[in-house]
């Protein structure tokens, strides 16, 4: 699997998710089997680049290559400048966000709203490719099947993007109007794959090894991209890799191993967001802890308790103790599918 001249270790990708796929989460997914992970979206607004939020999103300290950054915006020149800005800060692949369904993004005509204006969408693609080509940086595109049921124009945009020089396209099998409701459809993904020469990635509702196998077979896609199903279960990548290679399932992780992964992730998380009591680090870690325990016995009660803790050290201690207690009853994590929640403001 390659994106332009860049070779990837496998065809299992972690999807960009705003507020989720920060550097610590990307590194965790990579350690647990993802061959590629894309950053949460970085704004093309230059006046926000110096903000703490954007500087954290553009932080790639210690991150394994290739470093992929997703940019979002509505102005071609600004998007080109944002691409160059992020390349200067370590990005080796630039991804254009044309898939985010969040209202706060689409109301500004960014994200999947761009699919309503095909000339503008193509202008942005051409500008970003022109900015990245001299630097030998591939450009990719993530989009939806269209704006709504009656406007499924992914195939048309994909063909134009390929002609403009995009190196890979990921398609989420829903329209913007669907958000994350209903089921993803893969016919459109398959049609895009059949029409293009560049790699095409299937995204949407891939939450098990069997589903990964079936989506690859149904679409002919070169790779799959997993988002919500990796929240709290980042080892899904290694589970899928093993299943695709052998046809057999890996045993569920041992409770103590899952605890070690989560604690390591939390240390990385606090390192990026801060160890201050009642600060961003402890608050933003709550969702990751909640996702990790929500489907486990006693998880909902612990999730509620976690929201009352305002110290990173106390949070770490509580997580350690809770998993130690769980290990008394279960050597391995119980085989309970984690629920996928709908939160259009959190996922891109």
Instruction: Kindly give the pairing relationship between strand 200-203 and strand 223-226.
Output: parallel
Q: Which residue among the candidates 29, 100, 106, 132 is catalytic per the annotation?
A: 100
Residue 35 is given by DSSP the state: S
Is residue 106 part of the annotated active site? The answer reads no
200 close to 168: Cβ distance less than 8 angstroms: yes
**Cα Rg for the chain, rounded, in angstroms?**
20
* Helix ranges (DSSP H) in 143-298: 154-164, 187-195, 209-219, 236-246, 255-273, 280-293
Distances (CA, A) of 178 to 41, 72, 101, 117, 174: 20, 20, 8, 19, 6
Q: Identify whether the C-beta of residue 166 lies closer than 8 Å to the C-beta of residue 125.
A: yes
| Residues whose CB is less than 8 angstroms from the CB of residue 68 and which lie 6 or more positions away in sequence, other chains included | 36, 37, 38, 39, 91, 92, 93, 94, 95, 140
- Nearest one of 49, 6, 19, 287 to 137, comparing CA atoms: 6
In 15-62, the DSSP E strands lie at 36-37, 42-43
Active-site amino acid positions: 100
């Amino acid at each position: 699997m390659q994106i332009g001249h860049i070779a990837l270790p496998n065809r299992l990708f972690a999807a960009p998710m705003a507020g989720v796929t920060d550097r610590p989460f990307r590194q965790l997914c990579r350690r647990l089997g993802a061959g590629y992970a894309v950053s949460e979206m970085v704004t093309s607004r230059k006046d926000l680049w110096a903000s703490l939020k954007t500087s954290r999103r553009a932080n790639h300290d210690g991150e394994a290559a290739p470093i992929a950054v997703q940019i979002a915006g509505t102005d071609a020149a600004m998007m080109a400048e944002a691409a160059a800005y992020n390349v200067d800060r370590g990005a080796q692949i630039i991804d254009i966000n044309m898939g985010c369904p969040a209202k706060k993004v689409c109301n500004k005509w960014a994200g999947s709203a761009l699919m309503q204006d095909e000339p503008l969408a193509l202008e942005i693609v051409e500008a970003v490719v022109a900015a990245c080509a001299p630097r030998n940086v591939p450009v990719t595109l993530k989009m939806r099947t269209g704006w709504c049921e009656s406007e499924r124009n992914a195939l048309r945009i994909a063909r134009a993007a390929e002609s403009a020089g995009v190196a890979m396209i990921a398609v989420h099998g829903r329209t913007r109007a669907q958000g994350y409701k209903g089921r993803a459809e893969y016919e459109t993904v398959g049609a895009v794959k059949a029409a293009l020469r560049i790699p095409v990635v299937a995204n949407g509702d891939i939450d098990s090894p069997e589903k990964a196998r079936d989506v690859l077979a149904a679409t002919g896609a070169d790779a799959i991209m997993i988002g919500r199903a990796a929240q709290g279960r980042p080892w899904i990548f290694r589970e899928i890799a093993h299943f695709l290679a052998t046809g057999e399932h890996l045993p569920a992780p041992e409770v103590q191993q899952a605890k070690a992964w989560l604690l390591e992730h939390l240390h990385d998380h606090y390192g990026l967001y801060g160890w201050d009591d009642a600060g961003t680090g402890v608050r933003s870690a709550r969702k990751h802890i909640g996702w990790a325990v929500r489907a486990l016995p006693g998880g909902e009660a612990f999730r509620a308790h976690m929201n009352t803790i305002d110290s990173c050290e106390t949070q770490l201690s509580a997580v350690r103790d809770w998993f130690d207690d769980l290990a008394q009853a279960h050597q391995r994590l119980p085989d309970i599918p984690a629920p996928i929640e709908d939160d259009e403001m959190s996922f891109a």
